[in-house]
Amino acid sequence: MADGVKLEAQGIPTATICSTAFAGAARVQAAGRGFAELPIVEIPHPMHTASRSLIEDRASDAASSIARALLKGAAARGALGEEILEDRIELDAEPAALQEFFFAHGWTDGLPVTPPTADSVAAMVAASGRDAHETIGPIPPRMRTATIEKLAVNAVMAGCRPAYFPVVLAALEAVLDDNIRLYGIQTATNTSSPLIIVNGPIVKELGLNARGNVFGQGNRANATIGRALQLIQRNVGGDIPGETDMATHGHAGKFTFCIAENEDESPWEPLHVERGFKATDSTVTVIGGSSPQNVFTYGCETGAEILDHLIGALTGLGHNNIIFPTGPLFALSPEHAQTLARDGYDKQRIKQEMFTRARIPLTRFAARSVIGLHHRRSRWFEIANDPDHIGVADRVGDINIVVAGGAGIHSQFVPTSFSYAPVTRLIRRGGAA
């Protein structure tokens, strides 16, 4: 769809082919980009599991519709027009009625929100040290631009304190980097959502949770910073389940997906230092992540035994890092990290062993899967010199490790997808980093 819009803008006729399950989403996304009449040809769903003969029949049936679309010429442009919303809405109602107002307008993620008053939004803007009329965007999938003030509205709704807002803005700027591929994350059938990792002195200053239950509930800063980014994607970007977000299942990270690194209990340099920043810098790092998979090392006593379990998690079929060359992310518990370090493993050695050992024989895959892997993971086959296996990263440096969590012999394997690489941004407060 996105390619069709670009080509039509250049006067090149197109026919965008979609299965029936996704044609509605394609039309909504095309309209959001100003091409409400983008020619879309529907074919019956599903296609991935259809037989070759059925696919050929469907292709034959669609041929005349494709020809008509191409002969029709460039689609009508700008059919939507710009959406006009009031800058201020005056409400005088009981709290329950206010919540129903936001639900009725589709401005929530399914949970109650904090009504944004003029004073609360102004305090949020002031904490950012940025002009209320400064703009950030475009924000996919509908490619809208928003002012700092409008972004502050969403941060208030998410329940943020003003001091959290600079973190939200840094995370937003990170996810809009081309390396994150936010549009793909938002609109695919995958479970992916932007994962925010916070590092530096701001973690303690704001009380972000880096320890026990780090991916879970209960901490206001983690919960509301991640939620604010999600509400911005929804209310500004137009990322709506069933319209643009076509995730087959989704995951809880689509409510909020924000952690901090447990730097105090890590035996190694933290993520942001590894990525070229100073230890005294406060940063956010973002990558497209899916539901974490728990790695439970019951009975393991050595770093080598723990590493065997981590690598074992990587060699199961079906996770994203088989298909996507993003590189897996591990959130190692302090106990695992300290045992590994005790036994001579630093981050580089762990990554090297994962890269070398976490390889899956192509004989374990269906024939069509192997064909697809040669296409989607072509760089692996070009540089790894291993034609018989697929690895979980194209390069050692594509594997990412942070230390996070509390006591216990558990770590988390976070399958990643879509992003070309993690993106790290400084957190600017009061106009400075």
What torsion do the CA atoms of 159, 197, 306, 321 make, to the nearest 10 degrees? 110
Residue 431 has a pLDDT of: 47
- Report phi then psi at 83, rounded to 5: -75, 130
8: amino acid identity, one letter: E
> Does residue 88 register a pLDDT over 70?
yes
* Shared-domain flag, residues 29 and 171: no
SS3 260: strand
> Does residue 81 register a pLDDT over 60?
no
- Residue 419 CA to residue 403 CA, distance in Å, equals 21
Of 309, 215, 321, 229, residue with least CA distance to 261:
215
Q: Give the β-pairing of 135-139 and 258-260.
A: unpaired
pLDDT in tens, 104-139: 999 999 999 999 999 999 999 999 999 999 999 999
Instruction: With beta carbons less than 8 A apart as the criterion, state whether 208 and 222 touch.
Output: yes
267: amino acid identity, one letter: P
User: What value does the mean pLDDT of the chain take?
Assistant: 92
* Shared-domain flag, residues 306 and 386: yes
Residue 59 lies in a domain: yes
Instruction: With beta carbons less than 8 A apart as the criterion, state whether 83 and 238 touch.
Output: no
- Residue 225 CA to residue 205 CA, distance in Å, equals 14
* Shared-domain flag, residues 246 and 322: no
* Shared-domain flag, residues 138 and 46: no
Whole-number percent of the chain with pLDDT over 70: 96
CA–CA distances in Å: residue 248 to residues 94, 191, 378: 37, 7, 26
Residue 424 lies in a domain: no
* Shared-domain flag, residues 221 and 125: yes
- Residue 257 CA to residue 216 CA, distance in Å, equals 9
> Does residue 73 register a pLDDT over 70?
no
Last residue of a domain, one of 266, 301, 320: 266
What torsion do the CA atoms of 56, 58, 59, 63 make, to the nearest 10 degrees? 140
* Shared-domain flag, residues 299 and 215: no
311: amino acid identity, one letter: I
Residue 423 lies in a domain: no
Of 240, 241, 228, 238, residue with least CA distance to 151:
228
pLDDT in tens, 236-279: 999 999 888 999 999 999 999 999 999 999 999 999 999 999 99
* Shared-domain flag, residues 138 and 101: yes
pLDDT in tens, 277-336: 999 999 999 999 999 999 999 999 999 999 999 999 999 999 999 999 999 999 999 999
DSSP H helices, 200-264, are 202-206, 220-235
Residue 191 lies in a domain: yes
- Residue 421 CA to residue 167 CA, distance in Å, equals 20
* Shared-domain flag, residues 157 and 206: yes
Q: Residues 44-57: what's their mean pLDDT?
A: 82
pLDDT in tens, 192-207: 999 999 999 999 999 9
Instruction: Specify the number of domains making up the chain.
Output: 3
SS3 209: coil
Residue 87 lies in a domain: no
Residue 85 has a pLDDT of: 53
- Residue 112 CA to residue 63 CA, distance in Å, equals 48
Residue 160 lies in a domain: yes
* Shared-domain flag, residues 158 and 226: yes
- Residue 414 CA to residue 331 CA, distance in Å, equals 7
- Residue 240 CA to residue 166 CA, distance in Å, equals 25
Q: Residues 33-40: what's their mean pLDDT?
A: 82
Residue 207 C-beta-side C-alpha neighbours within 13 Å: 9
Chain centroid, CA 175 distance in Å: 8
Instruction: With beta carbons less than 8 A apart as the criterion, state whether 27 and 240 touch.
Output: no
* Shared-domain flag, residues 63 and 131: no
- Residue 139 CA to residue 144 CA, distance in Å, equals 5
Strands (E), 254-381: 258-260, 283-289, 293-296, 329-332, 359-361
More confident residue, 87 or 252: 252
Residue 144 lies in a domain: yes
* Shared-domain flag, residues 262 and 368: no
Domain containing residue 139: 95-266
* Shared-domain flag, residues 309 and 383: yes
Instruction: With beta carbons less than 8 A apart as the criterion, state whether 331 and 289 touch.
Output: no
Residue 427 lies in a domain: no
